[in-house]
Amino acid sequence: MDEETRQATPASGTPRPAAPCSLLSLEPDVHRYFARLARAYGPLFSLRLGTRLCVVLSSPAAVREALKDHDVIFANRDPPAAITAFPRAQHGLHWSPHGIVWRTLRKVTVREFISGGGNEALRSLLRREVRRAIARLRAREGEPVEVWELVFTTAYNVLTSMLWGGLSEDGDVSVEFRAVVEGVIELLQAPNVSDFFPALVTLDLQGVGRRMKRMWDRYDVYWEKFVEEGGRRGEEDERKGGKAFLQGMVEVLERREQNDPLTMDHFKALFMELIVGGTDTPFPRSPRPERFLTAADDKYEFSGNNFAYLPFGSGRRICVGISLAEKMVTHLLASFLHSFLWQLPEGEKLELGERFGIVLKKAEPLVLAPTARFDDPDLYTPTSELTGTRHQLSILHPRRSREEQRFEMKLAVPLLLLAVISAAASAVSAAHPKVPAVYVFGDSTADVGNNNYLTGTDAKANFPHYGVDFPHQTPTGRFSNGYNTIDYLAINMGFKRSPPPYLAVVNKTQPLILKGLRGVSFASGGSGILDSTGTTITMTKQIQDFAAHKSNIAARVTAVVAKGLLAKSIFLISSGGNDVFAFFFATNGNATADQTEQFYSVMITNYTTHLKALYDLGARKFALINVPPVGCCPISRVMHPSGACLDGLNALTKGFNDRVSVLVKNLSSEMEGMNYTIGNSYNVVNDIVSDPAGAGYTDVSSACCGSGKLGAEVMCSPNTTFCTNRNEFLFWDRIHGTQATSEKAALALYDGASEYASPINLKQLVES
């Protein structure tokens, strides 16, 4: 041992670990604690952790001496209590003692899984799974994605397909087996008092052994299914020129002689280790990607010969799957970086804290929002040539021919890992939301897709030609050719677009959504202020859904923090038009004055109830959008002999809007801390109708998409036509405005004069 390793001089004033049981001084971040002790006492020191003696090596020289010069001595591993409590779990490559069983198992693994056919299978499966992952990401463009979950799922599908031929593709077996894998990982990394006091293993004080046995019993059930299915697939796979690892293992057992040490239990344990090891990914503690560009070629060589950098270990116990890991990581990350721009979602900050476990992980999962780089789906499919040459990958380039699109990227595994983190860090300044979140309630003027998830209603816009001007020409459920007014208001507040529909995220677990740092849209086309209006999601139900969402927020960030977030967020309501329509046509436009006043009274009473309910749930900043002159919609004009606006319907609308203004003014004086703006969409649309040319329109009476008189007799659908000069039309369909109209309206409501927003505009409310 060299002089550096032999001498360890304690730093002055550094407290020594508690004695005789150093366990008392152990800190949760064990890796940081050991690093601090190494700086104080030198690169070689020991601790008494419970009844176990722990020797810590922290210099390349000491590590080399242990793992290279004396690797036979250090070739055995000390299994944790979660493993020793259940002997069959010790039969795999990772925990087997160094000897003939371990050597034979390693040889078979390399021959059947790593070399030759394993590399070829990996190439094919990676291409397939990456294509599927990219397709899923494209469908969720702009939404927050948990990066670990994305990588785990892709790697899990690749590994299980390689191991037993693709049972992970679908079905309940895949979901249940994945839960077993995650359960095993959790048990292995959970703190266990028996690891420090081995005499307590038989007592199993924390129940880790019992839980591990239950996991293994479940694994046995799935294993039998895998073997049975693998046998049926064996001949078919061989005809295709390959076979799953399981089939190879079965053949090894069939050929084995009497003295061969391997049994099915060895392979069963090995399979679990391969999946756990291939999916439980680490997180670099010091993300400095520039070091890989400026360092000597071999400084960050990771094959076990650079003892200052051993992500895969070294010596006899080095990870046997380095070559597969290298190909998988480079291909996954290069493909994801090539296909999408990655940013932190609105309102999120990059957290680099880590959590100690089997491997070092981020304490808070990395959540990023992908933005597609290309419109052509073919450009999302890397034409991979995963060669044996280290760090090389061929991938399509977006601006060149298919022949010219092949180029080599010399990318080290650590550089690619850190590139994602670096990209996220550089994106911190890219999004600057001015409020924590936007919560949206209302009807089709605000719906961004909730109705897509409903049955029994035709109030949907998830089909062409809706969305013709949305990115990728996607019909999202917005009642528009592209973005709606809520999208543009959100953009003005620093977000990318409207928050996602509640029904699209209610069962998701992305931390961003559950913390409420972006917001959610509860709006449902066809609904109204009255629960009797429409057959979709009523306003009462929308508020109930928000209450449930608030509970999720409070459960994760505490009630106090949630209260602060909600108080600063914007609660945007756009509703009432459907109620006005329903009343007007129910009375054939001939309602008496008493009937009209009764309608107004019921509407205001219900609106009051809704606003107070939101206030009680924490809302303080209200942005209300009043009802536009619906008598000028094409569906109304078509009922007039000359195609003019229905003045009676507009008068009914204006009367309701006036009463809402009085209501909110009174409520703001009663409810402490309430601030509000009323966006006057009535005046915005009325001014456009009064002076179309001045607003840049050539048609303010017809629907761009539809057919019949004024394009309003048949609703917009794949069977109708739509105009090419959409920016010159006030209306997209027979009720809703075009994207151009939404953009103009949002600008007026956000930063307009008092005739369009009062008593303050939305910008002033945001900044208040």
Active site residues: 444, 733, 736
H or E element, residue 361:
strand 361-362
Amino acid 514 reads L
Element (H, E) at 757: strand 757-758
Helix (H) or strand (E) segment spanning residue 621:
strand 621-625
- Tokens 């259940």 map to which residue? 86
Q: How far apart are CA 591 and CA 639, in angstroms?
A: 17
How many residues comprise the chain?
Answer: 768
HSE-up (13 A, CA, CB side) for residue 77: 18
Contacts of 725 (CB under 8 A, 6+ apart): 698
Nearest 10 degrees: Cα torsion 488, 489, 495, 497: -40
Q: How does strand 438-442 pair with strand 519-521?
A: parallel
Closest alpha carbon to 126 in 440, 377, 484, 387: 387
Helix (H) or strand (E) holding 677: strand 675-679
Q: Are 274 and 179 in contact (CB under 8 A)?
A: no
Can you list the positions of beta strands (E) in 366-425? 367-372
CB 224 within 8 A of CB 237: no
In angstroms, the CA 36 to CA 272 distance is: 35
395: tokens are: 């991938």
C-alpha 756, offset from chain centre = 37
CA distance 234 to 121: 15
For residue 74, report the phi and psi dihedrals to the nearest 5 degrees.
Answer: -100, 20
* Peptide bond before residue 759 is cis, with ω within 30 degrees of 0: yes
Any bridge partners for residue 52, and if so which?
A: 49
The widest CA-to-CA distance across the chain, in whole angstroms, is: 101
Helix segments in 256-411, DSSP class H = 264-279, 290-294, 322-339
Residue 10 DSSP code? P
Q: What does DSSP say about strands 621-625 and 675-679: parallel, antiparallel, or unpaired?
A: parallel
> Under a CB-based contact definition with an 8 Å cutoff, are residues 77 and 224 in contact?
no
Strand partners for 714: 707
Query: 731: which strand partners?
Result: 703, 737
Instruction: Give SS3 for 628.
Output: coil
Contact present, 575 and 660 (Cβ < 8 Å): no
Token duo for residue 474: 């996607």
3-state secondary structure string, 477-544? Answer: CCCCCCCCHHHHHHHHCCCCCCCCEHHHHCCCCCHHHHHCCCEEECCCCCCCCCCCCCCCCCHHHHHH
CA distance 599 to 596: 5
